[in-house]
Amino acid sequence: MRDITREKIDQIAQMWNARGKGLIDHMALEIEEVSTEGVRVRMPFNPDFCVDRDQTLLHGGILTALLDSVFGLANFIAIQGVSTMATLDLRVDYLRPAHSRADIFVRAHCYRQTRHIAFNSGNIWFDGHEDAEIARGSASFALTRGETSLFDAMTREK
Amino acid sequence: MNMMTLQIVNANVSRVPFFRFLNFEVQSMDSLHAEAEMTFLERHIGNPVMEHYHGGIIASFMEATSAIAVQPDFADVPAKPINLTVDYLRPGVRGPLYARATVTRKGKRIASVRVMAWQTDQEKPVAEGLYHFLLV
Protein backbone atom coordinates (compact mmCIF):
# COMPACT_ATOMS: atom_id res chain seq x y z
CA MET A 1 0.00 0.00 0.00
CA ARG A 2 1.38 3.36 -1.04
CA ASP A 3 1.42 6.15 1.48
CA ILE A 4 -0.79 9.13 0.91
CA THR A 5 0.60 12.61 1.44
CA ARG A 6 -0.99 15.15 3.73
CA GLU A 7 -1.35 17.41 0.70
CA LYS A 8 -3.35 14.76 -1.19
CA ILE A 9 -5.58 14.19 1.85
CA ASP A 10 -6.33 17.91 2.05
CA GLN A 11 -6.99 18.02 -1.70
CA ILE A 12 -9.45 15.12 -1.47
CA ALA A 13 -11.18 16.69 1.52
CA GLN A 14 -11.45 20.01 -0.27
CA MET A 15 -12.81 18.42 -3.46
CA TRP A 16 -15.29 16.32 -1.48
CA ASN A 17 -16.56 19.43 0.28
CA ALA A 18 -16.77 21.57 -2.87
CA ARG A 19 -18.78 19.27 -5.11
CA GLY A 20 -21.56 21.89 -5.26
CA LYS A 21 -24.50 19.61 -6.00
CA GLY A 22 -26.34 16.62 -4.69
CA LEU A 23 -27.15 15.26 -1.27
CA ILE A 24 -23.70 15.66 0.30
CA ASP A 25 -23.81 19.36 -0.55
CA HIS A 26 -27.28 19.56 1.04
CA MET A 27 -26.05 17.92 4.22
CA ALA A 28 -23.47 20.77 4.52
CA LEU A 29 -20.86 18.39 5.89
CA GLU A 30 -17.71 19.69 7.52
CA ILE A 31 -14.67 17.46 7.71
CA GLU A 32 -13.26 17.71 11.23
CA GLU A 33 -10.56 15.08 11.12
CA VAL A 34 -9.15 13.09 8.27
CA SER A 35 -6.37 10.53 7.98
CA THR A 36 -5.81 7.05 6.57
CA GLU A 37 -6.90 5.80 10.02
CA GLY A 38 -10.39 7.21 9.52
CA VAL A 39 -12.45 10.36 9.25
CA ARG A 40 -14.70 12.42 11.50
CA VAL A 41 -17.34 14.64 9.92
CA ARG A 42 -19.88 17.11 11.36
CA MET A 43 -23.38 17.53 9.95
CA PRO A 44 -25.22 20.66 11.12
CA PHE A 45 -28.83 20.21 12.26
CA ASN A 46 -31.27 20.58 9.36
CA PRO A 47 -35.06 20.67 9.97
CA ASP A 48 -35.65 19.18 6.47
CA PHE A 49 -34.25 15.87 7.73
CA CYS A 50 -36.83 15.50 10.54
CA VAL A 51 -39.98 13.38 10.68
CA ASP A 52 -42.03 15.23 13.30
CA ARG A 53 -43.94 18.47 13.09
CA ASP A 54 -41.79 20.11 15.79
CA GLN A 55 -38.74 19.15 13.73
CA THR A 56 -36.64 17.71 16.54
CA LEU A 57 -36.51 14.01 15.50
CA LEU A 58 -34.25 13.04 12.59
CA HIS A 59 -35.36 10.38 10.09
CA GLY A 60 -33.24 7.22 10.19
CA GLY A 61 -32.64 7.47 6.47
CA ILE A 62 -30.52 10.58 6.78
CA LEU A 63 -28.26 8.74 9.25
CA THR A 64 -27.92 5.91 6.75
CA ALA A 65 -27.12 8.44 4.00
CA LEU A 66 -24.55 10.08 6.26
CA LEU A 67 -22.80 6.77 6.96
CA ASP A 68 -22.79 5.82 3.27
CA SER A 69 -21.29 9.22 2.33
CA VAL A 70 -18.59 9.20 4.97
CA PHE A 71 -17.63 5.59 4.22
CA GLY A 72 -16.97 6.83 0.69
CA LEU A 73 -14.71 9.59 1.97
CA ALA A 74 -12.84 7.20 4.28
CA ASN A 75 -12.19 4.90 1.30
CA PHE A 76 -11.03 7.78 -0.88
CA ILE A 77 -8.39 8.57 1.70
CA ALA A 78 -7.42 5.04 2.69
CA ILE A 79 -7.26 3.37 -0.72
CA GLN A 80 -4.97 4.40 -3.56
CA GLY A 81 -5.49 3.84 -7.30
CA VAL A 82 -9.24 3.25 -7.28
CA SER A 83 -11.07 4.15 -10.49
CA THR A 84 -14.62 3.31 -9.41
CA MET A 85 -16.26 2.60 -6.08
CA ALA A 86 -19.84 1.44 -5.49
CA THR A 87 -21.68 0.53 -2.30
CA LEU A 88 -22.34 -3.20 -2.36
CA ASP A 89 -24.31 -3.46 0.84
CA LEU A 90 -25.04 -1.48 3.93
CA ARG A 91 -26.31 -2.39 7.38
CA VAL A 92 -27.41 0.18 9.95
CA ASP A 93 -28.63 -0.22 13.54
CA TYR A 94 -30.61 2.67 14.96
CA LEU A 95 -29.53 2.55 18.59
CA ARG A 96 -31.55 5.44 20.03
CA PRO A 97 -34.16 7.88 18.75
CA ALA A 98 -32.27 10.73 17.03
CA HIS A 99 -34.09 13.30 19.14
CA SER A 100 -32.15 16.57 19.29
CA ARG A 101 -31.42 19.76 17.41
CA ALA A 102 -27.70 19.39 18.10
CA ASP A 103 -25.15 18.92 15.31
CA ILE A 104 -24.27 15.36 14.46
CA PHE A 105 -20.88 13.69 14.32
CA VAL A 106 -20.01 10.63 12.30
CA ARG A 107 -16.81 8.65 12.47
CA ALA A 108 -15.95 6.10 9.81
CA HIS A 109 -13.01 4.02 8.74
CA CYS A 110 -12.01 1.38 6.25
CA TYR A 111 -10.98 -1.58 8.43
CA ARG A 112 -10.00 -3.90 5.60
CA GLN A 113 -9.29 -3.50 1.91
CA THR A 114 -8.61 -6.11 -0.73
CA ARG A 115 -8.09 -5.70 -4.47
CA HIS A 116 -11.84 -5.76 -5.12
CA ILE A 117 -13.58 -4.93 -1.86
CA ALA A 118 -13.41 -2.36 0.95
CA PHE A 119 -15.00 -3.01 4.37
CA ASN A 120 -16.18 -0.09 6.48
CA SER A 121 -17.66 0.64 9.85
CA GLY A 122 -18.79 3.80 11.52
CA ASN A 123 -20.96 5.39 14.16
CA ILE A 124 -22.99 8.53 14.80
CA TRP A 125 -23.64 10.66 17.89
CA PHE A 126 -24.95 14.11 18.80
CA ASP A 127 -22.43 16.84 19.60
CA GLY A 128 -21.44 16.45 23.27
CA HIS A 129 -22.88 12.93 23.63
CA GLU A 130 -20.26 10.61 22.19
CA ASP A 131 -21.09 8.07 24.91
CA ALA A 132 -24.67 7.75 23.59
CA GLU A 133 -24.35 6.60 19.98
CA ILE A 134 -27.52 7.01 17.94
CA ALA A 135 -26.54 4.74 15.07
CA ARG A 136 -23.88 2.29 14.03
CA GLY A 137 -23.33 0.95 10.55
CA SER A 138 -21.15 -1.23 8.39
CA ALA A 139 -20.83 -1.52 4.65
CA SER A 140 -18.86 -3.11 1.86
CA PHE A 141 -17.84 -1.38 -1.36
CA ALA A 142 -16.89 -2.87 -4.73
CA LEU A 143 -13.69 -1.32 -6.09
CA THR A 144 -12.29 -1.16 -9.59
CA ARG A 145 -8.57 -0.55 -9.75
CA GLY A 146 -7.28 1.35 -12.74
CA GLU A 147 -5.01 3.94 -14.24
CA THR A 148 -7.58 6.73 -14.03
CA SER A 149 -8.25 7.37 -10.38
CA LEU A 150 -11.65 8.48 -9.19
CA PHE A 151 -9.93 11.49 -7.66
CA ASP A 152 -8.53 12.57 -11.06
CA ALA A 153 -11.91 12.05 -12.77
CA MET A 154 -13.66 14.20 -10.18
CA THR A 155 -11.09 16.99 -10.22
CA ARG A 156 -11.13 17.08 -14.03
CA GLU A 157 -14.86 17.72 -13.87
CA LYS A 158 -14.25 21.16 -12.38
CA MET B 1 -57.47 0.33 -0.48
CA ASN B 2 -59.70 2.95 -2.09
CA MET B 3 -58.72 6.29 -3.58
CA MET B 4 -59.92 8.23 -0.55
CA THR B 5 -57.64 6.36 1.84
CA LEU B 6 -54.66 6.78 -0.50
CA GLN B 7 -55.34 10.50 -0.42
CA ILE B 8 -55.26 10.49 3.38
CA VAL B 9 -51.97 8.55 3.41
CA ASN B 10 -50.40 11.01 0.96
CA ALA B 11 -51.69 13.92 3.04
CA ASN B 12 -49.88 12.38 6.06
CA VAL B 13 -46.77 11.85 3.94
CA SER B 14 -46.78 15.51 2.91
CA ARG B 15 -46.72 16.55 6.58
CA VAL B 16 -43.40 14.79 7.24
CA PRO B 17 -40.54 17.22 6.45
CA PHE B 18 -38.07 14.51 5.39
CA PHE B 19 -40.70 12.82 3.19
CA ARG B 20 -41.16 16.15 1.42
CA PHE B 21 -37.39 16.33 1.02
CA LEU B 22 -37.44 12.87 -0.62
CA ASN B 23 -40.33 13.95 -2.87
CA PHE B 24 -42.41 10.79 -3.29
CA GLU B 25 -46.03 9.75 -3.49
CA VAL B 26 -47.72 6.51 -2.40
CA GLN B 27 -49.38 5.00 -5.47
CA SER B 28 -51.05 1.87 -4.21
CA MET B 29 -51.41 -0.14 -1.05
CA ASP B 30 -53.20 -2.98 0.67
CA SER B 31 -52.92 -4.55 4.12
CA LEU B 32 -49.42 -5.98 3.41
CA HIS B 33 -47.96 -3.76 0.70
CA ALA B 34 -47.15 -0.20 -0.20
CA GLU B 35 -45.85 1.04 -3.52
CA ALA B 36 -44.46 4.55 -4.06
CA GLU B 37 -42.86 6.68 -6.75
CA MET B 38 -40.06 9.18 -6.10
CA THR B 39 -39.36 11.97 -8.58
CA PHE B 40 -35.68 12.67 -9.24
CA LEU B 41 -34.24 15.92 -7.87
CA GLU B 42 -30.73 17.39 -7.98
CA ARG B 43 -30.50 16.96 -4.21
CA HIS B 44 -30.81 13.16 -4.65
CA ILE B 45 -27.49 12.95 -6.47
CA GLY B 46 -24.69 10.99 -4.82
CA ASN B 47 -22.11 10.65 -7.58
CA PRO B 48 -21.77 14.13 -9.11
CA VAL B 49 -19.90 12.86 -12.19
CA MET B 50 -22.39 10.17 -13.20
CA GLU B 51 -25.41 11.89 -11.58
CA HIS B 52 -26.57 8.67 -9.92
CA TYR B 53 -28.92 8.59 -6.94
CA HIS B 54 -27.12 8.68 -3.59
CA GLY B 55 -27.28 5.23 -1.98
CA GLY B 56 -28.55 6.88 1.20
CA ILE B 57 -31.47 8.44 -0.69
CA ILE B 58 -32.42 5.03 -2.11
CA ALA B 59 -32.20 3.51 1.40
CA SER B 60 -34.24 6.42 2.85
CA PHE B 61 -36.95 6.02 0.21
CA MET B 62 -37.12 2.27 0.86
CA GLU B 63 -37.31 2.95 4.62
CA ALA B 64 -40.14 5.45 4.11
CA THR B 65 -42.12 3.05 1.87
CA SER B 66 -41.58 0.19 4.35
CA ALA B 67 -42.75 2.31 7.30
CA ILE B 68 -45.93 3.18 5.38
CA ALA B 69 -46.56 -0.51 4.55
CA VAL B 70 -46.25 -1.31 8.27
CA GLN B 71 -48.26 1.63 9.60
CA PRO B 72 -50.17 3.43 6.83
CA ASP B 73 -52.36 5.23 9.36
CA PHE B 74 -49.47 6.89 11.25
CA ALA B 75 -50.76 10.04 12.87
CA ASP B 76 -47.67 12.06 13.74
CA VAL B 77 -44.40 10.19 13.14
CA PRO B 78 -43.90 7.14 10.88
CA ALA B 79 -43.20 3.64 12.27
CA LYS B 80 -40.00 3.43 14.39
CA PRO B 81 -37.16 1.71 12.52
CA ILE B 82 -34.84 -0.68 14.40
CA ASN B 83 -32.34 -1.55 11.69
CA LEU B 84 -31.90 -2.26 8.02
CA THR B 85 -29.84 -4.11 5.46
CA VAL B 86 -29.63 -2.88 1.88
CA ASP B 87 -28.20 -4.70 -1.11
CA TYR B 88 -27.25 -2.32 -3.94
CA LEU B 89 -27.71 -4.13 -7.24
CA ARG B 90 -27.56 -1.50 -9.99
CA PRO B 91 -26.88 2.24 -10.16
CA GLY B 92 -29.96 4.45 -9.83
CA VAL B 93 -29.92 6.83 -12.78
CA ARG B 94 -31.64 10.19 -13.34
CA GLY B 95 -35.39 9.54 -13.54
CA PRO B 96 -38.22 8.19 -11.37
CA LEU B 97 -37.52 5.52 -8.78
CA TYR B 98 -40.16 3.06 -7.56
CA ALA B 99 -40.31 1.07 -4.33
CA ARG B 100 -42.54 -1.79 -3.31
CA ALA B 101 -42.57 -2.88 0.32
CA THR B 102 -44.01 -6.18 1.53
CA VAL B 103 -44.65 -6.85 5.20
CA THR B 104 -43.31 -10.36 5.73
CA ARG B 105 -44.28 -10.52 9.40
CA LYS B 106 -46.15 -8.18 11.68
CA GLY B 107 -46.22 -9.30 15.30
CA LYS B 108 -47.30 -7.45 18.43
CA ARG B 109 -43.97 -5.71 18.92
CA ILE B 110 -41.90 -6.13 15.77
CA ALA B 111 -42.48 -6.08 12.02
CA SER B 112 -40.19 -7.32 9.21
CA VAL B 113 -40.45 -5.75 5.78
CA ARG B 114 -38.88 -6.67 2.46
CA VAL B 115 -38.60 -3.89 -0.05
CA MET B 116 -37.29 -3.52 -3.56
CA ALA B 117 -36.56 -0.46 -5.67
CA TRP B 118 -36.46 -0.31 -9.47
CA GLN B 119 -36.63 2.16 -12.35
CA THR B 120 -37.75 0.99 -15.80
CA ASP B 121 -37.95 -2.76 -15.23
CA GLN B 122 -39.14 -4.41 -12.05
CA GLU B 123 -37.10 -7.48 -13.02
CA LYS B 124 -33.93 -5.36 -12.79
CA PRO B 125 -33.99 -3.98 -9.26
CA VAL B 126 -31.74 -1.08 -8.25
CA ALA B 127 -31.73 -2.21 -4.62
CA GLU B 128 -33.35 -4.62 -2.20
CA GLY B 129 -33.76 -4.09 1.50
CA LEU B 130 -34.83 -5.73 4.72
CA TYR B 131 -36.12 -3.43 7.45
CA HIS B 132 -37.30 -4.05 11.03
CA PHE B 133 -39.71 -1.78 12.88
CA LEU B 134 -40.69 -1.49 16.52
CA LEU B 135 -44.45 -1.29 16.91
CA VAL B 136 -44.62 -0.40 20.61
A76-86 pLDDT tens trace = 899 988 888 99
List all residues 6 or more positions away from B2 whose beta carbon is below 8 Å from its beta carbon. none
**A48:B64 CB<8 A:** no
Top-confidence residue, A149 or A31 = A31
Between chain A and chain B, how many beta carbons pairs sit less than 8 Å apart? 124
The rounded distance, in Å, linking the Cα atoms of B128 and B117 is: 6
Please say if the pLDDT value at position A18 is more than 60.
yes
- Mutant choice from A27, A48, A51, A157 vs B, greatest count of B C-beta within 10 A: A51
Any A CB within 8 A of B83 CB = yes
Distance CA A73, CA A78 (A): 9
Residues B67-83 pLDDT 10s: 999 999 898 899 999 99
Nearest C-alpha of chain A: how many angstroms from B77?
A: 6
B21 touches A: beta carbon within 8 Å: yes
| Nearest-CB residue to B86 (from A51, A53, A89) | A89
Mention every residue, 6+ apart, whose C-beta is less than 8 A from residue B25.
B10, B13, B36, B37
What local confidence, expressed as pLDDT, does residue A158 receive? 44
> Is B82 touching A (CB cutoff 8 A)?
yes
* pLDDT computed for residue A151 by the predictor: 66
In this model, does residue A120 exceed pLDDT 90?
A: yes
Residue type present at position A24: I
Q: Which residues contact B127 (CB under 8 A, 6 or more apart)?
A: B55, B58, B59, B62, B86, B87, B88, B89, B90, B92, B116, B117
Cα(A91)–Cα(B67) distance, integer angstroms = 17
* Residue B133 vs residues A135, B21, B79, B80, B110: alpha-carbon distances, Å: 15, 22, 6, 5, 6
pTM for the full predicted model: 0.94
d(CA B64, CA B60): 6
Residues in chain B with CB shorter than 8 Å from the CB of A94 are 81-83
CA distance B72 to B8: 9
> How many whole angstroms separate alpha carbon A108 and alpha carbon A75?
9
> What's at B29, amino acid-wise?
M
Nearest CA among B93, B105, B5 for reference residue B52: B93
For residue B42, CA distances in Å to A21, A34, A50, A120, B51 come to: 7, 27, 20, 27, 8
Q: Which of residues 48-77 of B touch A (CB under 8 A)?
A: 48-49, 54-57, 59-61, 63-64, 76-77
- Optimal mutation site among B15, B70, B86, interface A, most CBs of chain A within 10 A: B86
User: What DSSP element (H or E) covers B101?
Assistant: strand B97-106
Buried b (16+ CB within 10 A) or exposed e, B9-36: bbebbeebbbbebbebebeebeeebbbb
Are B17 and A51 within 8 A, CB to CB?
A: yes
- In the prediction, which pLDDT does A2 show? 52
Subunit contact B59:A19, Cβ cutoff 8 A: no
pLDDT recorded at residue B10 = 96
Closest by CA position to B98, among listed B121, B130, B78? B121
Mean pLDDT of chain B: 95
Among the partner residues A22, A57, A69, nearest to B42 by beta-carbon distance: A22
Q: How far is CA B74 from the centre of its chain?
A: 15
Would the pLDDT of A1 be above 60? no
Task: Say whether A64 and B87 touch across the interface (CB within 8 A).
Answer: no
Question: How far does CA A92 lie from the centroid of its chain?
Answer: 14
How far apart are the C-alpha atoms of A109 and A120, rounded to whole Å? 6
CB contact under 8 A, B55 and A22: no
Nearest Cα residue to B54 out of B91, B9, B20: B91
